[in-house]
Amino acid sequence: EVQLVESGGGLVQPGRSLKLSCAASGFTFSNYGMHWIRQAPTKGLEWVASISPSGGSTYYRDSVKGRFTISRDNAKSTLYLQMDSLRSEDTATYYCATPNYPGVSADWFAYWGQGTLVTVSS
């Protein structure tokens, strides 16, 4: 059974940093592109960042470029999101997600974690 378990969320002041983790199990992690998607309170879903199976390629939405860094440790089957210079508009539940097929791209997201809440506020 595929499982994705996020951690690391919490309350942080504007301008500070936070690092999220997503522990994966039930599939060959190193074969799958991984993705972070967020959802602001009572709002819709927004793709944040993606990383290729090897970790050699990364992609970001414009509003987080230069502030967020996606990375992975295939030996630990863990995905990360380093978030620096946080802003109030980054407040959201952050989900890690992956499609049900190997490779870099993601057309659809078949597996989602339960999410971790990040609140940016003074």
109 is an interface residue for other proteins by CB under 8 A: yes
- What number of helices (H) and strands (E) belong to the chain? 0, 11
Q: How far apart are CA 5 and CA 122, in angstroms?
A: 27
27 is an interface residue for other proteins by CB under 8 A: no
Instruction: Give the number of C-alpha atoms closer than 13 A to the C-alpha of residue 111, restricted to the C-beta side.
Output: 21
Distance in Å, CB of 97 to other proteins, minimum: 8
45 is an interface residue for other proteins by CB under 8 A: yes
Among 36, 94, 115, 120, binds other proteins (CB under 8 A): 115
By CB under 8 A, the count of residues binding other proteins is 19
